[in-house]
Amino acid sequence: MNRVVPLDIVDLAYNGKSVGYLDGKVTFVNGGLPGERVEVRIDKSFRSYNHATLVHILTRSSERVAPICRHYDICGGCTWQDLAYDRQLFHKRNQVIATLKHIGGFDDVPVDEIRPSPQQFFYRNKMEYSFHVLPDAGPDAFVLGLHERGQFDRIFDLKTCHLQSDLSNRLVAFIRRQAADLNISIYDLVRHRGFLRFMIIREGKNTGQVMLSLVSGKGEFPQKERLISAVQTEFPEMTTAVWVVNESVTNIARGELREILFGPGYIEEEILGYRFRISPGSFFQTNSRQTEELYRTAIDLAGVDGDDTVLDLYCGAGTIGLCSAAQAYHVVGIDIDEEAIQTARLNADVNGIGNARFYAGSIREVMLDPKLRDRKFDPAFIDPPRAGMHPKALKRLIEAAPARIIYISCNPATFARDARLLTDAGYGLKRVIPFDMFPHTMHIELVSRFEKKSC
């Protein structure tokens, strides 16, 4: 193994790798673009496919462009930044079509042209940055930045990122300097000691509000007052800052809210004229401006009218259900996350919406509750996590038999699986519209419409 061979790149796979064929065997390559002839190192060989790494480009693709980011070669974020944006859109749509065919068995589903993002850069409203100790560089040496490509345990020191905003870049640099100047310890993933673990920046792209979350290990916050005073002085536009504690060894940027350091402890974002509260742990679509187009399209596809009782499954903070409430008779939202449901109820109050009710619990259990069991729902909005619908939730949805289902997905593979189950249960998949929510990455969002077939 580890032999170097020439290879012609012919396509891009759903996971972002490029694809070629070596002696008839499909070969997935880290690097390379369609139309390029390259040299690759075969890292692993299996019965039906190879894994390889790009060594050298022999012939460059006309689709290749110069990435603008100084960290492109090591960052795990914008792995398609070297691919022209119109070709990113082309390949993403083709991947939706291929996934529907190979996983769902669909050959003739109408797939619209992909809707491009209104912004190709500085579109994200949330970013997570990791603190990481560098024991080999000195007792107090550390970095603050993002994960290296393909490395869960290696962080590079971020200088400039083109995903969120100039403010976020300045804030990362400022917090890095302050942590060093104030001698605030950095959490060590190996020894499980130290304080600062993550920083999270959330922005309301349509409201201008900004929240800083500092995630730490256990213990008192050293130099807390000095740090926060410095942040407020340097960034008067900052709306709020919070302190979150993660005492577990699990390396995630979540935990228990310990203290609101200043401001209200949340920000608000505006979508389709409605304001939504975003707390430190809230899920919210990360491309605010494309989310408006996504939700507008989903509501149009649903054709909601004044007699409809809308069912919003995996509703989170209630965004799409509340955006459709003015056109509906009633909205019922369900999510297993109690905090998200509390936020959804609050969002209904903030927007003066009185015809929406939100319930916390598993979809199957809530929908079997006597208050809801015999309700007639139509349409149903479905926006599950990447894993797709839980089988029991899908079963209960089919039992509820809404005439129209609008399924929003961030994972074409699990969508294709669920779409096949819905069609087997008597639904027709009428339309699929891909959306580019994450330019320069391989990730794809889509919205679709299912209709129950007449008996």
Q: Which residues are catalytic?
A: 410
Q: Give me the amino acid identity at 287.
A: N
Axis crossing angle, helix 412-424 with helix 85-102, rounded to the nearest 10: 40
Tell me the β-bridge partners of 404: 451
Question: In 10 A of CB 294, how many CB atoms?
Answer: 23
User: Which residues is 9 bridged to in the sheet?
Assistant: 20
**Residue position matching structure tokens 């692993």:** 44
